[in-house]
Structures are given as C-alpha cells and as structure tokens.
Amino acid sequence: MDSSDAASEQFVLTEPRTAQDWESYFNLRWRVLRQPWDQPRGSERDELDAESFHLLARDAAGTIVGVGRLHLNSATEAQVRYMAVDETCRDRGIGSRILGGLEGRALSQGVAGIVLNAREATLNFYRRHGYVIEGPAETLFGAVRHVRMRKALLDTLITD
C-alpha cells in the first residue's frame, strides 16, 4: 500500500442519505465547480440529479470532502459528472475511490462504457484510470475548457 492508499483509508464512501448530507454534497459541488467562476448557487445542480447515483466521501470527522455522480445516457453508456474533491484533501486517493465506486455502480447496471467531460487540469487523473480522449467538449463559463473522455467497462464483442 502506498501513502495515497494509506491516506484514503481515512475516508468513508457512502451515498447521501439525509437532508444535511444532500446540503453538504451540493455545497461542495458548488464551492469547487462553480464558485471560482462566480456562478450562482443552484448552478451545481441539474435535471438528472434525481435519477442519478451519487457518492460522497467523508473524513474521520464526518465532513464531506469529495463527491461524484453517475447517470445513464442509455442502457449501455453511463456518464460521470460533478466530480469534486475539497482542495485541502486532494492527492489523497479520494477522487480515485469515488471514481472507482461510480464505475462499480455502472458495472452492476451492465453498462459497457463510461463517458465524461474532463477539465483540462484533470486529464492526467482520468488517464491514470483508463480513460482515453475522444475529442473536445464544451467550454464552461467562457473559461473552463473540457475534453470528452471514454472508458470501456465491458467487452461488447461476444464471440461464439
């Protein structure tokens, strides 16, 4: 076990369950993914939240320090969105654990692959986890460029 694995052992993954969990979950999404670009509260949510699978990471004190969401685009494709880790807790394996949990959920649903739109600053993180670049994606807020990435989860070629 390397030091990042040891550090990540201090964090517990779970789904949001209580009203306080949801409030803290969305607050972290807003603080990390929207506030730095002066986006209003509420911009961290969308119409797919209600039908999506959400994970959060808590530290030893119970504070939510990482979040991520998975939703189905089709029966064979899922999408990861809103991955965020508190800046004070980065490089400790939290994002890797959340991503692994989301991928596990996708696999349990029989999904063949996952897509995501990664911010340029996170490309190496996703590459380390097996994602490959497909091409450009949107630029948010006129400043945050994204790249479309994909990872195959299941071998979709079945031979007799």
Read off the pLDDT of residues 10-37 as tens digits, 9 standing for 90 and up: 899 999 999 999 999 999 999 999 998 8
The answer to whether residues 99 and 80 touch, using CB atoms and an 8 Å cutoff, is yes
Between the ranges 73-77, 88-92, 142-146, where is the mean pLDDT highest?
73-77
| Residues 126, 24: Cα–Cα separation, whole Å | 25
* Greatest Cα pair distance in the chain: 55
| Residues 59, 100: Cα–Cα separation, whole Å | 18
pLDDT tens per residue across span 79-114: 999 999 999 998 899 999 999 999 999 999 999 999
| Residues 35, 11: Cα–Cα separation, whole Å | 25
Question: pTM, whole model, 2 decimals?
Answer: 0.87
Q: Which of 32, 16, 41 is closest to 122 using CA atoms?
A: 32
Compute the C-alpha angle 99/28/49, nearest 5°: 65
In the prediction, which pLDDT does 4 show? 45
In the prediction, which pLDDT does 59 show? 93
**Confidence label for 5 from pLDDT (cuts 50, 70 and 90):** very low
Q: Which of 148, 101, 78, 93 is closest to 125 using CA atoms?
A: 93
How many percent of the chain have pLDDT more than 90? 74
Residue type, 155: D
Domains and CATH numbers, the chain: 3-114 (3.40.630.30)
pLDDT above 90 for 141: no
